Amino acid sequence: MARIPVMRFWLNLNPKMTIRLLPRLLPNTYQRTIPRVPFVCRRYASTSKTSASTQEGSDPQMKWVLTSLAVVTTGVLGANAYWYMTAPKRVMPLEYERFNNFTLKEVIPVNHDTSLFRFRAAHQSHDGTQVPVELRKTKGAFQVTTNEYVPAPNHILIKDDTCQVGRCYTPIAYGRDYFDLLIKKYPNGSVSSMIHDLKPGEDFIIARGPILSFPYTENMADRIIMIAGGTGITPMYQLIKQILKDPKDKTNVSLVYGSKTESDILLGNELHVLSQKYPDRLQVNHVIQNATSTTSSRGFGSIHQGIIDERVLSSIGIPKPADEPLILVCGPDGMVEWLAGEKKSENNQGPLRGVLAKLGYTPQQVFKF
């Protein structure tokens, strides 16, 4: 690749300068393919001041030299182009400060509007790597590259260059050479629609990260209540896995997961496996808005009908404000606003309102993703 700019610069020079530079730029190639070129070049360079047009028109040897140069130049440029097109592309890592391209490896449909997307990436230290607590407390101060472990929950930022819009997505898994995203397609979602239109092995996304979503530390609360809706389950799932695999973390987690229908439940099997393995530390409660008489939990956990409101939360038995639980909320904007008030921006949680405010919880006890 480095030869192509040299060739462009070389071709822009005048013929006399080109003749002088060629033996130095590619001596071995020209000595092997055109034995007389160095001799003719030296002869031409030492000639007294004669116009280029007269020299080209009157010297048959010079015509032969220039023709040979054109042939060899075309060959070198063609070889460089072939190398560039056929050379294996470098797989880039996720980086906090720089956007890189990540090719789609595989798509696995999950339900009627959500799929799992696996992207190729150069990753990453194993999940057991720990980060100093002082770096994990301040969201803005925690900036690391992919080669350093970012604690859960974390997300990546994907941008759509066609409309200059970016969206945050939480990977549900990081592998040695990939990361997985669970993405729902929204009718008016430019980024989600763009991702759902990608073809495996051909198309790519432009992303950066991982970026710390919430500065969680082990045992920061005795009980955590996670309230999620739709694909808002992804940061909860990521954090649940981190809490349960840490033998030093004794936190008890209660998940309240809202879905429109039974088929809209995401990661149901994965959550069920974790709740069966850690029954004393994880309780999973599904709240289905359009539940019917035939609706069952499919073994995923307990089922509650309706929407997540005071009645449902009370029936589930979430801790009272005096017990100082930590409540995490993630889901569609309307759901978050209904439960905890509007989130103003990434750096502004906004005032606590809605269902949780009515139940007496304080802003220090609630975090909105």
**pLDDT computed for residue 132 by the predictor:** 39
Q: Is the pLDDT of residue 6 over 90?
A: no
**What is the token pair recorded at 324?**
């100082």
**pLDDT computed for residue 245 by the predictor:** 93
Tell me the mean pLDDT in the region 280-286.
Answer: 95
Amino acid at 39: F
**pLDDT computed for residue 326 by the predictor:** 98
pLDDT digits (tens, 9 = 90+) for 261-273: 999 999 999 999 9
Cis bond leading into 153, ω under 30°?
yes
The DSSP result for 245-310, as a single string, is: H-TT---EEEEEEEESSGGG--SHHHHHHHHHHSTTTEEEEEEETT--TT---TTSSEEEES-SSH
Burial 169-200 (b: 16+ CB within 10 A, else e): bbbbbbeeebbbbbbbeeeebebbebbbebee
pLDDT digits (tens, 9 = 90+) for 291-323: 765 555 555 667 899 999 999 999 999 999 999
**pLDDT computed for residue 362 by the predictor:** 97
Report d(CA 64, CA 228) in Å as an integer.
76
Q: What angle do CA 339, 358, 363 make, to 5 degrees?
A: 70
**pLDDT computed for residue 150 by the predictor:** 74
